[in-house]
């Protein structure tokens, strides 16, 4: 790496295009971060085979701009380089002086209340907890407690506890039921056309795009505008919720209606994963769409058993849009206070019974 940096320094190019061959992940990420810090305006192209989602995320966060297979043909390689040269360097990021993000720290008053409230509630509600556990066990085969990975404050992942209210194969059926998602909108979302990567075909298509940018992958070419529309749709549908979900068991419908399925989260609160009041922790597949600067504040507060958007619409006939939920979450994170928590707790009791069958 030192010799590579000396070579780059000797070239005098303030915006070099760096081809980085993938070797060992840990060392690769360190070297990519070093290159990015030394040459912030560079374009770093990773030469690699197939990457899984975790690896792809790690290399992108370290500072790579794109990736190509080592056996990429010359025509595709040339088009990729020309695209980066023409477009990637055209727009320079504007950096404004902002305080360094240090993450959220739980206030002492809030943690004290959480410990006292959760411990007291566990003792008081122990008969309900025991009766529900027996009912869930008798109603359908499977564990009493459902554990799922959730993303909480500071993007920390933890085991989220609930009484199981669904069939044991619920997770495997999730992607088969996207048409039931009440936040996916009424219109079917068209898939952007993907064209097999044939150099001659790409050359033929470029004039027909009428000025649109083309995003070139090893496997397909897609107009930039269609790609942006797909990303926007995914972000708009980040919250997944189903109407009359057939995966829910008979006991599950009852304990969900009265929020009894949420009671095991008292143990999450007691051990510090969550708070009584906060933003709902999100599943990984939802949280991954909310990592931009626009939504980062949502995770700069505690995860909660109840929260602002629950009491705003819970018990009413109206349904929150995904954007409404996000904005209410951000509002709570930015206005966290004992008074706001007290208001939410009081409203929770009046909005306890959900009229939405979800």
CATH classification of the domain holding 24: 3.40.50.2300
Please list the residues that pair with 306 across neighbouring strands: 277
The C-alpha atoms of residue 122 and residue 60 are separated, in whole angstroms, by 44
Does a structural domain hold residue 117? yes
pLDDT at 215: 56
Are residues 159 and 209 located together in one domain of the fold? Answer: no
196 phi and psi, to 5 degrees? -55, 140
Does a structural domain hold residue 178? yes
The domain tally of the chain equals 3
Q: Give me the tens of pLDDT residue by residue for the chain, a chain 358 residues long.
A: 555 555 545 555 667 778 888 888 888 888 888 888 877 877 888 888 888 888 888 888 888 877 888 888 888 777 777 776 665 555 444 444 444 445 788 999 999 999 999 999 999 999 999 999 999 999 888 899 999 899 999 889 999 999 998 887 765 665 555 555 555 554 444 444 444 445 555 455 555 444 555 554 444 455 556 656 665 665 555 555 555 667 788 899 999 888 899 999 999 999 999 999 999 999 887 888 787 777 888 899 999 999 998 887 644 455 677 788 888 999 999 999 999 999 999 888 876 655 444 4
pLDDT at 103: 72
CA angle 161, 346, 268 (to 5 degrees): 15
Are residues 158 and 294 located together in one domain of the fold? Answer: yes
Assess contact for 279 and 310: CB atoms under 8 A: no
Are residues 163 and 251 located together in one domain of the fold? Answer: yes
The C-alpha atoms of residue 72 and residue 218 are separated, in whole angstroms, by 8
pLDDT at 17: 79
Residues for the chain: how many in total?
Answer: 358
pLDDT at 335: 92
Are residues 123 and 208 located together in one domain of the fold? Answer: no
The C-alpha atoms of residue 178 and residue 151 are separated, in whole angstroms, by 22
pLDDT at 110: 96
Are residues 144 and 32 located together in one domain of the fold? Answer: no
Kindly list the distances between the CA atom of residue 31 and the CA atoms of 6, 38, 43, 49, 252, in Å, as whole numbers in the listed order.
14, 10, 14, 19, 50
158 phi and psi, to 5 degrees? -145, 170
Are residues 223 and 274 located together in one domain of the fold? Answer: no
The C-alpha atoms of residue 163 and residue 263 are separated, in whole angstroms, by 8
Assess contact for 306 and 348: CB atoms under 8 A: yes
Residue located via tokens 């971060």: 33
DSSP label at residue 101: P
Are residues 178 and 33 located together in one domain of the fold? Answer: no
pLDDT at 72: 82
Are residues 116 and 213 located together in one domain of the fold? Answer: no
- Sign of the Cα torsion 244, 250, 255, 261 reads negative
Q: Name the residue range of residue 335's domain.
A: 109-184+237-350
pLDDT at 277: 96
Are residues 147 and 209 located together in one domain of the fold? Answer: no
The last residue of one of the domains, among 32, 53, 88, is: 88
Q: Mark 321-339 as b/e (b = at least 16 C-beta within 10 Å).
A: ebeebbbbbbebbeebeee
pLDDT at 40: 80
Are residues 295 and 336 located together in one domain of the fold? Answer: yes
The C-alpha atoms of residue 121 and residue 267 are separated, in whole angstroms, by 10
Does a structural domain hold residue 189? no
195: tokens are 């064209």
Are residues 146 and 252 located together in one domain of the fold? Answer: yes
Does a structural domain hold residue 138? yes
Are residues 117 and 265 located together in one domain of the fold? Answer: yes
């Amino acid at each position: 790496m030192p010799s590579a940096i000396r070579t780059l320094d000797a070239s005098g190019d303030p915006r070099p295009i760096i081809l980085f061959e993938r070797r060992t992940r840990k060392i690769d990420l360190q070297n990519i971060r070093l290159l990015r810090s030394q040459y912030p305006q560079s374009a770093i192209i990773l030469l690699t085979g197939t990457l899984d989602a975790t690896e792809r995320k790690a290399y992108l966060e370290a500072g790579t701009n794109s990736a190509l297979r080592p056996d990429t043909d010359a025509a595709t390689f040339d088009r990729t380089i020309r695209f980066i040269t023409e477009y990637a360097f055209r727009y320079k990021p504007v950096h404004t002086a902002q305080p360094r993000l240090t993450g959220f720290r739980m206030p002492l008053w809030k943690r004290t209340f959480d410990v006292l409230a959760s411990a007291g509630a566990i003792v008081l509600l122990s008969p309900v907890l025991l009766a529900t556990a027996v009912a869930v066990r008798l109603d359908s085969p499977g564990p009493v407690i459902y554990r799922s990975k959730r993303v909480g404050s500071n993007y920390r992942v933890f085991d989220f506890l609930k009484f199981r209210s669904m069939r044991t194969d619920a997770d495997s059926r999730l992607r088969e039921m996207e048409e039931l998602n009440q936040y996916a909108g009424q219109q079917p979302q068209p898939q952007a056309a993907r064209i097999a990567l044939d150099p001659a075909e790409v050359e033929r298509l470029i004039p027909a795009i009428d000025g649109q940018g083309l995003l070139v992958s090893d496997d397909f070419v897609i107009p930039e505008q269609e790609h942006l529309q797909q990303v926007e749709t995914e972000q708009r549908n980040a919250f997944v919720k189903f109407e009359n979900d057939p995966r829910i068991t008979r006991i599950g419908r009852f304990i969900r209606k009265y929020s009894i399925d949420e009671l095991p989260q008292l143990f999450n609160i007691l051990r510090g994963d969550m708070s009584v009041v906060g933003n709902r922790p999100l599943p990984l597949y939802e949280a991954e769409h909310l990592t931009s600067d626009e939504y980062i504040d949502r995770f700069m507060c505690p995860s909660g058993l109840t929260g602002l958007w629950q009491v705003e619409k819970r018990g009413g006939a109206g349904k929150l849009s995904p954007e409404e939920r996000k904005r209410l979450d951000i509002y709570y994170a930015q206005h966290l206070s004992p008074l706001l928590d007290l208001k939410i707790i009081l409203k929770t009791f009046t909005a306890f019974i959900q009229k939405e069958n979800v």
